Chain A
Amino acid sequence: MIRVQAVPEAATAIRTSGLSKRYRRVTALNDATITVPEGRISALIGPNGAGKTTLLRLLAGLTRPTGGEMTVNGGTPRQDPAFLAGIGFLAQEIPLYRRLSAEDHIRAGAHLNPCWDGESVRERLAALRIPLDCAVGTLSGGQRAQVALALVLAKRPRLLLLDEPVAALDPLARRNFLAILADAVAAGGLTVVLSSHLVADAERVCDHIIMLAVSRVRLYGDIDTVLAEHQILVGPRKDTSAIERDHRVIQVTRTPRQVTMLVRRCGPVIDPAFQASDVSLEELVLAYMGQDPPPTLARLTSIGDDE
């Protein structure tokens, strides 16, 4: 999906164009074009197998694309100390040494990272009353996730990539985890992309969204903008071709008397037979996820172009 935004280069943390990743016969990511401005917390939303982990691994420089281009923190993702110093990546299976304590991890991090803020880890964990001297294997899952997040933040990355960090956590641990994250962004100089299938968390802590389904980007942008661009139209079951011509219909539900449409507006909806209402993020995500097959750009722009 192509979307042109007038964002100056300096304020962009991530920019990809036609990014693709194929493994033998499987296409994990197809033609992904996105922009994430600096300072955003972006929710990478999609069902399992949509390509979320592949996109994160590409952005982190852990795997190379088979097509397309990307710029992350002003450079090309690669296995190079200068690039990796600006990236924090937290994989789905929290990568900690279970027999070592948080303090051991803090000391190890100081050896491995050129600019390391170990004190910030001690402060964050003290505030959460997580012991520094116990083997992390003895901590709860929620505490381990918080230790891992505090450690990856100590690296002072400019871009933090988190793969399903909160899916396995209970609601309180999830809230604490997201609060650490939001606080780190509030302190400045950090952009976050976190993959999740929990829309409620995304709505609270994120201000940007990237929606993936079946290896393709369905929608991306600032959440406020994206919500303002969509509307739900409810009206009598009649000819809807005028609306389908003027706007982009994402989802249609028909009952014998009524038709409900979720549309991406191109200008105001003027048909008085239809009542327009705002859409919630969850409704929007479900509508885009249910979209199958994906609308091709050809179909959208073909009107008037027919030979």
Chain B
Amino acid sequence: MDGRSVVPPYLQIVQQVKQALRMGVLEVGDKLPTVREVVAATAINPNTVLKAYRDLERDGLVEARAGHGTFVRHRPPGPSPGTHSRLGRSLIRWVAEAREAGLDDEAMESLLRMALRAETEEEIA
């Protein structure tokens, strides 16, 4: 949880769960920690956690089974976890190469932003 982010805390939880699903850290059938477990471990407001779980449920990604907990039902649409980890690995190689060439984190981040923008503009053109 990033206190300085302007992304509301509940959305940060939603995004983190979705990310875990995309990366294959969480799989269909896995049980999410209970609200009380999350709260006791993180001191995040319980209503915030509940709201995040309700959002995930509305999106059909998880389902609450009364008395049992909240379980993963679907992965978010998109490529399989394998694709993510493969692309992640090639990005790690790229970062190592950039570091070797003397780029710092900030320079790499702005390069990535530029590349994302250039690619979006190409799509539009």
Interface residues of A (CB under 8 A from B): 39-41, 175, 178-179, 181-183, 185-187, 200, 203-207, 224, 227, 277-280, 282
Contacts and interface: CB of A to CB of B under 8 A. Distances in A.
A114 to B, nearest CB: 27
Interface stretch (B38-46, B97-105, B115-123): B38-46
Contacts of B43: 175, 178-179, 181-182, 204-205
Interface stretch (B4-12, B53-61, B68-76, B86-94): B4-12
B79 interface: no
A208 to B, nearest CB: 9
Interface of B: 1, 3-6, 8-10, 35-36, 39-49
A278 B45 CA distance: 21
B6 A41 contact: no
B19 to A, nearest CB: 20
B4 A206 contact: no
Dominant secondary structure of chain B at its interface with chain A: helix
Contacts of B3: 200, 203-204
A182 B45 CA distance: 6
Nearest to A185: B46
Contact of A179 (B9, B40, B48, B49): B40
B39 A182 contact: yes
B47 A39 contact: yes
A203 B39 contact: no
Contacts of A204: 1, 3, 9, 42-45
A187 B36 contact: yes
A179 B8 contact: no
A183 B6 contact: no
Contacts of B1: 204
16 contacts: A40-B47, A179-B40, A179-B41, A179-B43, A181-B43, A182-B44, A183-B40, A183-B46, A185-B45, A185-B46, A204-B43, A205-B44, A205-B45, A207-B47, A207-B48, A227-B6
